[in-house]
Every structure is written in structure tokens, then in C-alpha cells.
Structure 1
Amino acid sequence: MTTHRYPRRMEIKRHRLLEAAQEICFHAASMSDIAKKAEVSPPHIYNFYKNKADLAMAVQERMNQEIFDTLKNSMFEERSVDKDKCLDNLLKPERAALMLTLITEATRDTKLMEHFRKHQKKFRELLYEYYHVDPNDEEHKVRLELLNALYAGLAVRSLFSPYENKELLKELLGKADSFLARKYPVDYMKDIEAPMKK
């Protein structure tokens, strides 16, 4: 990557390239397609990213940082607006499509796969901090992995079948969160079984 005497212009172009790469179907698009979408001359894209895998890593880092920041705010500040924004971001079909495309790219590129693993570790550490996970509590850790898988699955499903009743979805996710993520989970089965025993 070369240096430039107009760093502000370079930063604007870098931002446009990342926006363009997120907007168009990354896997099918060439570097030239992405450059044109960003209104950057195709050869100039290589001043920013040496190849498509390098660009994929930058897109993934940007997307992950957005999710991480929103999630951190919603978890630690307990603001319902942030929680709604976080869920809406997660369920955006274009975000899920990009995530699947980047995962596909990562199966062919070990550096990108390592990048994914690094982000996953950072995300796991955030969850462990928020839910006060004891490093020796294997059950609690596995329940958090299940919750993580649930959210990832919901994101992918939103590609094919958008959720119509988001309020109900949020309510049910709150119950799943209470059961799977808390140190001492609420046992909703007791609520169901109690009336049946009477």
C-alpha cells in the first residue's frame, strides 16, 4: 500500500471502497466492479488493497466492529433503543448475505479465516464479561455458544424469510437469553409443568 500526500482524500476513497464492497455481491464482483461502484479508477484500488482477500478482511473488520460496538452499547448500557438497533442490524438481509459471502471467501483463504476466528474470540470475551462467566463453568460456556448459534441462524434465515412480528421475536429471544445465557437460568419448563400437575 502506498502513502499519499493527501491522506484525507485517501481516507474518503477507502471508505467508498468499503461501502461499495458491502453493497454489491462481494463473491461475484471483481475488484474492478467494486472500484467502479466506489467511483475509484480500477487500478487505484490496489493502492488500498493488494487483492480481494485483503479487501474482504477490511470489509469483515468494518462489519464486525459495527456489530461489536452496537452490541457492547446495548449490553452494558441496557438501553432498549440500542438493543432494538442491534437486533435490526443483525436481521438485515444484506448483512447476512455479506456475512455468508465472506465466510465462503474465508474457506479459501486461511488469513481471512484466522481473522474470523480472532473476531469470534473477541465477541466471546465480550459475552463472558457481560454474563460473568466462570472460566471453569463448561455448561455456562456451552449455553452461550448455543445462544450465539441461535442469533447467527436467525440472521441467515432472515435472508430467505424476513420476520414479520419482530416484537414477538424480541420477546422470545429475551426468554431464550434468560435460559441460555444467565449464570442461573430461569427454568421455563417449571412454568409449563406446574399447571399440568394440578
Structure 2
Amino acid sequence: MSSAQHRVLCGAAVLGFFFCLRGSEFLASRGQRHRYFLEVNDVIVQDSNGSTTQMFATASTVVIILRGSKTDQVGNGIRRTLLKSKRAPVCPVFAALLLQRNATKLNLPENAPICSFSRSKVLSAETMTTVLRRAAKACNINPQKISTHSLRSGGVTTMHTAGVDADTIRNHDRWASDAYSAYVHENTAAVLHLAKRMGTTSSTPKRTDREPGASRAQALV
């Protein structure tokens, strides 16, 4: 796999997970893509002052513009913003910068699909599924249970497990009802270890002046 392919696959998977994207919003399917497909100018990385930046060290947030979706056929469009997770490469800002760097290297126009391997080839749902299933197999997870939708359901499950309230999940994932709950998979391990984590919490504050993975991420982007 080339470095360009790695950037696109990693960036797309992480961005899809954090923003709970539907496959049709950022992946081609059987050579076709929707009119509201995520484009280069739909992804914006900003610093704490709201200015655009291409540096992970100074970046603070990533904004994506969704010009339409399965539940927005008229194309009203919405914006979603997420802060840096500080755990690169599992970070929406890091993912956005990977895709932006790739777009710059390919000299993609602003209205080109941001998840592109080249000016004529877009990342497909089929390719993403293959990569995700390969990763699942390496983690001893049944690959047949994995698809591109796993990124969306995984994002929802993670928010639910982290204690995010239902209204926030509905708003972030753009559901009009509690239908999102059908995609939540209870994390048994997290529940089992909750008491242990609470009982072993140290009263000594941990250092927060370091960002795990930040140096590596800055070097990559």
C-alpha cells in the first residue's frame, strides 16, 4: 500500500468514525457517488483563533460541511465541528489533515472528492470494507460482521459508552428520533472494568501538558 493510499484510508476511516458518517457521504459505491459527497472544501481545520491551519500542533478543531444526506435530500446542509482528541492518530483533526495533505499532493480542485486516491479514482465502500475486515481479522473479530457501516455504529457505541447524552448523540449523528439506539452495541468489557477503574483512580493528577501521539502526528501531516 502506498503512502497516499494509507493517508486516504486512515483519514477516511477516522473521520467517518468520529463524525458517524454514512458511507454514501464519503465513499463511492460501484463506481458511483452521491451529489452530496464530501469534497475538499467541505473539510476545514482551524486553530484556536478560528483561522485555517495545516499544522497539527496549532490546530484546534475540524469543521465538516455536509451538503446533503440520506435524511436531507433537499440539500439544506449542516456543519459539524469537533475538537482535537489529543490522541493522534485517533483524532478527527489528524484525519482531516491527512486528507487535506493528500488533496494538496494530488492538486485536487476544491470540488473534488476529498477521499481520493488520484484525480480519477475515489475511495470506494468495497475497498474500505476489505481493509476494515482485514483489521478485524487481525484483532480476532469475525470479519463478516464488519462493513463500512461499522464506522458509524462504532462511533455511536463509543459515545454511548462514554456517557454522552441521547440528545447530543441524536444531534451529532443527525437522527430525528431514538433510532440510533438500534446501532448501539453494549461494551461488556467497559462495564465489567468500570468498578475497577473507579476503585483504582489516583488522587494524584496526571500530567496534561503532553499530547499523546502529537509529535508523531505533526511529523506525518
Normalised to the residue count of structure 2, the TM-score between the two structures is: 0.26
**More helix, by proportion:** 1
- TM-score using structure 1 length: 0.28
Higher-strand-fraction structure: 2
Q: Specify which structure has the bigger relative contact order, considering alpha-carbon pairs within 8 angstroms and separated by 6 or more residues.
A: 2
Give 1 or 2 for the bigger CA radius of gyration. Answer: 1
